[in-house]
Structure 1
Amino acid sequence: MSDTLSEDTIHESLPADWEYDGTEILRTVEFDSYLDGVAFAREVAELADEAFHHPRIVIEFRAVTVAFTSHEAGGVTEQDLELAARVNDLD
């Protein structure tokens, strides 16, 4: 199990466009159409499944919110930050 990161470390290491809400890191990405968002969510799901680390994904009409936390560790870990950076490479 990975160690949770301090709030300062999380803020210093957050990839572009991500925020920390005290329990998880999250990003909302907007799209031109609903199906573009669904396609993005599928890419995120495939990336996460490969890493066996599954985010919360919320699909709305033209936006998708992705949120990472490590439940077994009780907070945000290095793996969460690494996967967030990889999600940024998808859009």
Structure 2
Amino acid sequence: MEKLNTAKIEESLKNLSGWSLKNDMIEKSFKFKNFKEAFSVMTRIAFECEQQNHHPNWENVYNNLTIKLNTHDAGGVTEKDIHLAKTIENIVNN
């Protein structure tokens, strides 16, 4: 998978509310009602990540979840990351 240039990443992020480009990763923080809700969403995301064979860098503290995506093999953001971010948005919003 080919690393995307900054212009392409920023164009793709226009359709992903709240996601931003930082340090060759796209990232977003989510806030949930409580830890149980955050962990439930993380579990659903984890199953999808395993299906896509693409795994996030993430951090969970109580009801907060921060997700950072990049494709390590490509050394930056690729279409795989954009696709996974869209999938994550669908999971969080449903």
TM-score class, shorter-chain normalisation, is: over 0.9
Q: Deviations over 1:19-68 (max 9, x none)?
A: 11031111111001011101111111111110000111211111111111
Can you give the 5+ residue segments of structure 1 that lack an aligned partner in the other structure?
none
The runs of at least 4 aligned residues of structure 1 exceeding 6 Å deviation read none
Secondary structure of the corresponding residue to residue 91 of structure 2: coil
Can you give the 5+ residue segments of structure 2 that lack an aligned partner in the other structure?
none
RMSD over aligned CA atoms reads 0.8
Partner of 1:13: 12
**Aligned length, in residue pairs:** 90
Identity of aligned residues (%): 26
Q: Distance in 1 between matches of 2:48 and 2:58?
A: 13
Alignment map for 1:10-89 (pairs within 5 Å): 10-14=9-13, 15-89=16-90
Contact 1:41-1:57 within 8 A present in 2 as well = no
